[in-house]
Amino acid sequence: MSCLVIAEHDNKSIKVATLNTVAAAAKIGGEIHVLVAGSGSGAAAEAAGKIAGVTKVLHADAPHLADFLAENVAALVVGVAKNYTHILAPATSNGKNVTPRVAALLDMQQISEIVSVESPDTFVRPIYAGNALATVQSSDAIKVITVRTTGFDAVAATGGSGAVESVAAPADSGLSSFISREVSKSERPELTAAKIIVSGGRGMGSGDNFKILEPLADKLGAAMGASRAAVDAGFVPNDWQVGQTGKIVAPDLYIAIGISGAIQHLAGMKDSRVIVCVNKDEEAPIFSVADYGIVGDLFQVVPQIVEELKK
Amino acid sequence: MKVLVSVKRVVDYNVKVRVKSDGTGVETANVKMSMNPFDEISVEEAVRLREAGVATEIVVVSCGPLACQETLRTALAIGADRAILVETDVELQPLAVAKLLKAVCARESPQLVLLGKQAIDDDSNQTGQMLAALMGWPQATFASKLTIADGKAQVTREVDGGLETITVKLPTIVTSDLRLNEPRYVTLPNIMKAKKKTLENLKPDALGVDVTPRMKTVKVVEPPKRKAGIKVPDAAALVAKLRNEAKVIS
Ligand SMILES: Cc1cc2nc3c(=O)[nH]c(=O)nc-3n(C[C@H](O)[C@H](O)[C@H](O)COP(=O)(O)OP(=O)(O)OC[C@H]3O[C@@H](n4cnc5c(N)ncnc54)[C@H](O)[C@@H]3O)c2cc1C
Ligand SMILES: Nc1ncnc2c1ncn2[C@@H]1O[C@H](COP(=O)(O)O)[C@@H](O)[C@H]1O
């Protein structure tokens, strides 16, 4: 057995999602290699070699790998694929974009968003917005997998001694070009890596009103998230969306403010350790998953929580 | 420009799905079925492209049992011109669907294929990327904005960090995200009109595609239930609980 993990990184450092994916690879067994594809990504490749359990880093560096365009990255992965029994990527937007392209080029049926490894060919994955868990067995020669990061505790970022080996990048496909990126800047922790998340829903009423959540997030060192309704209404950026079709999170503490708790939202946060909600409708479904709920008007309750936290 | 749109028939998003007691899957008998919401968005986008004079013909395709005709009729009512059913009772996995769609693309030669970002039943998020790979075409996934000009599509994509804009050469695959548009309501006159539109029936064999599943479902279970929580009277009680009982904050 031998696993190749496609790294999520920003050229300088390795993202935590990579560490969760290495953890899944470790459950499968065999050697673990990490592929770092990027531009000016030497530091990320170095960091990948230090990940606990990693024995080799394949490093491809080229200008046309800078923006992780699926056509170029998939061609690169396919070029090295034959050496591996398993190819894994985190189920991030990059992973979800590139990995199925790799799978199809290899004529393999991808196994999406696994949350558990039962054996080298058998995995558990949520279906129907997490309302069911399917155990699936793959008969394919190379298992191409995306990993739901909340299913696997991150391995240590240090302790490994993987040598970095250069691999040549295939030529630019010329099929797609990167134009621009609008990154939502924030001093707060990343949503998928945060220990505490404060999320707002349609009940917030406006983007401006999200300001009342800021002191709470500040006090708790929390990331901020939202329901689809809040994003669709333009209150907050799209990358705040938690849920079936947004981000899947499982922090120690998830605080849902003015969120009703639709199935599609619960799909993204119901594996959080502790869930708190504030909602003026005591019948709201969010109460059925919340460990602690307050029935009340969020505009009164949220500032009160902040006051209490100061005590 | 011809546009092909794939539409999947799935359990309606409002249905609370139940796992079958024998652990073989989820209950789909006597359950409301609908078009996958992302596919509805794709059909709407195609119709808007035609209204804008960019698209000339819209062909919708569904793969699955005969009942998918109903989903195709809905797509025709939204405004698609004609429909193709690739009929099979075999459980279809994304790679098989991608191969079927490839065969349909070979017959239809579309310049743009719109798929949903993910099907809300299997939550795979694979088919569009796979079809792009099999066609050797570019892909623009998770689209929240699409413009076609000069033989290219410019697509704004919803990604983890925010938004990203790329251009892809035509022909191309685009997968729709939720914020690409808001689908219109189908009107009765359009439902009537849809009944007269062509609906062709094809079989995987005739397309030369082997749809045998590669992945076996060993069992399906309900996820562990969270134990019921409590309501607390006020902020002071909440913060005390979080500090002393749950110990998640200091
Ligand atoms: C294909 C598909 C995918 C989807 N994916 C996602 C997803 O990934 N994530 C997601 O979140 N949703 C998703 N949805 C949408 C989902 O179905 C719900 O529509 C959405 O989650 C509702 O958001 P909400 O709870 O903020 O809004 P609402 O359901 O409108 O709830 C607002 C809540 O705020 C409360 N409230 C209002 N005012 C106050 C106040 N002053 N004080 C206290 N409480 C107040 C109300 O009582 C209510 O419970 C998806 C839907 C579809 C069809
Ligand atoms: N059986 C099918 N028939 C038609 N389109 C499908 C089918 N399965 C998947 N698709 C398309 O592929 C998209 C993504 O599905 P999936 O990869 O299964 O999450 C869907 O939104 C559809 O557009």
Contacts of A127 in chain B (CB under 8 A): 26, 121-123, 220
Q: Where are the domains of chain B?
A: 2-244
With CA atoms as reference, report the closest residue to A105 among B132, B112, B117, B113.
Answer: B132
Backbone angles phi, psi at A156, to 5 degrees: -70, 145
Rounded to whole angstroms, how far apart are CA atoms B6 and A108?
21
- Mean pLDDT of the residues in chain A: 97
Name the pTM for this structure: 0.96
b/e map A15-46, b = 16+ CB within 10 Å: bbbbbbbbbbbbbbeebbbbbbbbeebebbbb
Q: Which CATH architecture has domain A2-166?
A: 3-Layer(aba) Sandwich (3.40)
Average pLDDT over residues A293-304: 98
Distances (CA, A) of B7 to A98, A115, B135: 22, 28, 19
pLDDT at B12 over 90: yes
Ligand minimally distant from the alpha carbon of residue B65: 2
| pLDDT the model gives residue B226 | 87
- Whether B5 contacts chain A with CB within 8 A: no
Q: What is the pLDDT of residue B164?
A: 97
Residue A271 contacts residue A250 (beta carbons within 8 Å):
yes
How far does the centroid of ligand 1 lie from the alpha carbon of residue A204, in Å? 11
> Which residues of chain A neighbour B134 with C-beta distances below 8 Å?
104
Q: What is the pLDDT of residues B179-199, one digit of tens each?
A: 999 999 999 999 999 999 999
Q: How confident is the model at residue A186 (pLDDT cuts 50, 70, 90)?
A: confident
Query: Cβ contact (<8 Å) for A109 and B93?
Result: yes
Decide if A139 and B215 are in contact by the 8 Å CB cutoff: yes
Q: Confirm or reject contact between B235 and chain A (CB < 8 A).
A: yes
Closest in B118, B132, B219 to A135, CB measured: B219
Mean pLDDT across A206-220: 97
Contact call for B249 and A309, based on CB within 8 A: yes
CATH 3.40.50.620: does it fit domain B2-244?
yes
Say if residue A184's pLDDT is above 90.
no
- The answer to whether the Cβ–Cβ distance between A70 and B19 falls below 8 Å is no
Query: What residues form DSSP beta bridges with B148?
Result: B153
Torsion, Cα B96 B98 B103 B106, to 10 degrees, reads -170
CA-closest candidate to residue A80, choices A172, A29, A6, A176? A6
Question: Side-chain half-sphere of A135: how many Cα atoms within 13 Å?
Answer: 14
Per-residue model confidence as pLDDT tens digits over A39-82 = 999 999 999 999 999 999 999 999 999 999 999 999 999 999 99
CA distance B241 to B235: 10
Per cent of chain A over pLDDT 90 is: 97
- Under the banding of pLDDT at 50, 70 and 90, the label for residue B234 is very high
Does residue B250 surpass a pLDDT of 90?
no
Q: What is the dihedral of CA A81, A82, A86, A91, to 10 degrees?
A: 20
Domain boundaries, chain A: 2-166, 191-310
pLDDT tens per residue, range B73-126: 999 999 999 999 999 999 999 999 999 999 999 999 999 999 999 999 999 999
| Domain A191-310 CATH superfamily | TPP-binding domain (3.40.50.1220)
Kindly report, residue by residue over B116-160, the tens digit of the pLDDT: 999 999 999 999 999 999 999 999 999 999 999 999 999 999 999
Residues of chain B above pLDDT 90, percent: 97
pLDDT at residue B227 above 90? no
Report pLDDT digits (tens) over B38-49. 999 999 999 999
Query: Distances from the Cα of A165 to the Cαs of A12, A57, A79, B188, B221, in angstroms?
Result: 17, 6, 15, 63, 43
Beta-strand ranges (E) seen in B80-161 are 82-87, 112-116, 139-149, 152-159
